[in-house]
A and B are shown apart, each in its own frame.
Chain A
Amino acid sequence: MTDKCRKLLPRIHEWLEGDADEETTILVQWHLRDCIYCQQIVSEWQFVMEEIRFVLPTPPPEGFEGRLKQRMSKPQILSWCELMISWALTSAGVATAVFWFGSSLASVFWSLSQWVLGAINWSTLLTVWLQQFLELVNRWV
């Protein structure tokens, strides 16, 4: 194998892939005409390609389609990632709802209490309480 061959190997590969430009094609074809070593490499590479094509299709074990159908009819189990995302989204939704509802409820109670406190006539209330207390004392005495 000469230095020229070594340098040309990537180009020969490119040519074999059908990916070479015109210049490379001419260069490789010219070289292959005389170089027995590179001719052999090319035929060996072609052999490798054919072998891979030969071994690839492999029939799956018997019952493959039946098992696939069974699997397709089953409800899908969520992956960990999907489970975490769904949990996070649900928790965020619940938290938002609780916060929103809670704050609205608090504001309702606050305004209600303000309204009640504002509506009470404290002097009348005190007079009524005092009268009731005196009545009780009178009855007791």
Chain B
Amino acid sequence: MVRFATRWFGGWGQPHLSDESLVELHTLQRTGEHALAARYQRHVRQCESCMGRLEALREDCAELRRDVLAGVDALITPARLDRQFDIIARRLEGHAGRVLPFPVVTHRPAPAPPLRRWIATAAACGLLIGVGAGRWIGPIDAGSRTAWRPSTTSPTKAGPRLQHETDEQMLDEIDYALTRSRTKEFRALDELTPRINDARARARR
């Protein structure tokens, strides 16, 4: 359980450094911040109990640190360092083993020929004129259009039966889409794509 960090505990006559303060003091000493550690150090010099706890903490941390370093150092074999050194030496010489940077090519659009540019401009002008004219003339037969009407059935009011029907419709549509000839081309691609569950199972094996 994490508690609010307090600096001291014990009675007024015999105060002691809290665990948090002790860790802080140890950290400050380790990082060479002796000026900041001085306020706690004064107390530790006079208090045997805190001095003992600080020593125990120091030993605990040193042991933990040694274990961590030893664990990682065991992975760094002389053969590994030799191999690494050879690669560095080769790269410095500019021989094989050098990592080539990813080719950075600034992509510039090819200059369009003048004729194509004219066609594009004419098409854009035609579109603008068409839209403008359409707005000016207005709808030809407003009566024949179905006016937009707000839906009378809200989704919350729709019962479970209606919901069920729409779900069924959606699933039917998906089934139909999958059996259509147009999606056949995608099936081969889909089969080539690895499934994440298969890859996980293979990795565990």
Q: Do A and B come from one complex?
A: no
Q: Residues on A close to B: CB < 8 A? A: none
